[in-house]
Each structure stands twice: as C-alpha cells, then as structure tokens.
Amino acid sequence: MNHEKHDKISGLRKVADFSEGLTSLIAGSYVLTLAVTKRNIALRIALGITAGYLILRSGGKLHSGSMEEE
C-alpha cells in the first residue's frame, strides 16, 4: 500500500515537473521573440538573458518530468 502511494506521488511530481518545463519553454520562446523585435539594446539584452534562463530551465524540468525509468 505504501509503495502504491509513493508511485502515485512520484507520478504526480513528474507530471508537475513536465508541465512546468513546458510552460518555461513556451515563456522563454515568447520572451526571445520579444527580445528580437525590440529596438532598445539594453532591453534586448535583458530579455535575451531572461529567455535563455527560461529555456535552459525548461530542459532540466522536462528531463526530470520524463516518464522514463531511471
């Protein structure tokens, strides 16, 4: 019984990590398109750094949320 509960919690954690990673990827892509379209160089740099962080973070979250067995 305890093993089943652990499996359910682990599955929910993986789903949460995967959805958070997907959200970060979408947000990072959107911020990156904003960075490309802006004229102000300082704003472009700030948005580019933020986009890079979100996209890199999404990779870790998507990986930890994958349904592969370790």
pLDDT per residue of the chain (70 residues) written in tens, 0 to 9 = 688 888 888 888 888 888 999 999 999 999 999 999 999 999 999 999 999 999 999 988 888 877 665 4
> Would you mind telling me the total number of residues written for the chain in this entry?
70
The Cα 3–Cα 24 span in angstroms is 31
The Cα 35–Cα 6 span in angstroms is 43
- Helices 41-64 and 2-37 meet at what angle, rounded to 10? 160
Residue 21 has a CB neighbour count (10 Å cut-off) of 20
pLDDT of 27 reads 95
pTM for this one?
Answer: 0.78
